[in-house]
């Protein structure tokens, strides 16, 4: 069994929770309230901007120019494809420049990106790949599960098509293969660390759906809102 197969097996209960989450299910059957998706788009654009920087840090940690070049292409792909997709969503959802300027990351989005930066700061290439791989891989599996769905909401259909595409699957496979290659010469201690990072990121992926579905805000912001309304 490949190292990534072991990771996928260990993460299966967490991933199943993501598959069953009402946010994900709502994308497929259009039961997801549009304000939840609008919130998600803003939070995910923030996440992806830091995801791209994490990819760049992984490129800098690579031992070979070939891997550095490959990771640099992943950075470019995040910018050109995924962030461009979000810019399209922002237009469709009437998210203004003012909305973007006043945006503040939610606790979960902030914590997840901080988790990735921690892996980049204190780890090596394998640590970074392990931390960012669930984002790639889980989205690909969700895209596969929802591929035959025909939601009435056009932005949901566009989202599904983006993550069930040959282009995206190529990126996912590259990162899976890269981590397996690194695992071939890694110590047991390194693989234990990578497993922990992978599982934590899988937990954060679930929390990201929950964050968007509940329109998560910072606790004291909620407290101030209650104080004002009372």
Is residue 224 over pLDDT 70? no
Residue 87 pLDDT: 81
- Residue 72 burial (C-beta neighbours within 10 Å; 0-12, 13-18, 19+): middle
Domains assigned to the chain? 3-214 (1.20.910.10)
Q: Using the predicted structure, report yes or no on whether residue 208 has a pLDDT greater than 90.
A: yes
Read off the pLDDT of residues 40-97 as tens digits, 9 standing for 90 and up.
999 999 999 999 999 999 999 988 888 888 888 888 877 776 667 778 888 889 888 8
The verdict on whether 205 is a catalytic residue reads yes
Q: For the segment 27-39, what is each residue's pLDDT rounded down to a tens digit?
A: 999 999 999 999 9
What separation in angstroms does the CA of 1 have from each of 5, 6, 7, 127, 147?
Answer: 6, 7, 10, 20, 28
- Which of 135, 141, 153, 210 is catalytic? The answer is 135
Is 135 an annotated catalytic residue? Answer: yes
Which residue in 184, 188, 205, 210 is the catalytic one?
205
The token duo for 51 is 């995801």
pLDDT band for position 225 (cuts 50, 70, 90): low
**88-137 pLDDT per residue, tens:** 888 889 888 888 888 999 999 999 999 999 999 999 999 999 999 999 99
Task: Over range 160-165, report the average pLDDT.
Answer: 90
Q: Mean per-residue pLDDT for 142-166?
A: 93
């Amino acid at each position: 069994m490949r190292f990534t197969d072991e990771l996928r097996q260990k993460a299966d209960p967490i991933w199943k929770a993501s598959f069953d989450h009402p946010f994900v299910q709502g994308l497929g059957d259009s039961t997801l309230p549009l304000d939840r998706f609008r919130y998600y788009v803003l939070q995910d654009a923030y996440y992806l901007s830091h995801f791209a920087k994490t990819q760049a840090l992984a490129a800098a940690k690579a031992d070979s120019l070939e891997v550095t070049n490959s990771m640099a292409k992943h950075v470019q792909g995040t910018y050109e494809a995924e962030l461009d997709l979000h810019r399209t969503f922002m237009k469709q959802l009437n998210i203004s420049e003012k909305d973007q300027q006043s945006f503040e990351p939610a606790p979960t989005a902030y914590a997840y990106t901080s988790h990735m930066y921690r892996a980049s700061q204190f780890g090596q290439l394998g640590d970074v790949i392990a931390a960012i791989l669930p984002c790639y891989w889980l989205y690909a599996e969700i895209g596969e599960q929802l591929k035959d769905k025909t939601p009435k909401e056009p932005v949901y259909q566009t989202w599904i098509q983006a993550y069930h595409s040959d282009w995206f699957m190529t990126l996912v496979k590259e990162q899976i293969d890269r981590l397996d290659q690194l695992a071939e010469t890694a110590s047991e201690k390194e693989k234990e660390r990578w497993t922990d990072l992978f599982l934590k990121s899988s937990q954060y992926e679930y929390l990201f759906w929950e964050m968007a579905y509940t329109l998560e805000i910072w606790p004291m912001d909620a407290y101030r809102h209650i104080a004002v309304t009372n």
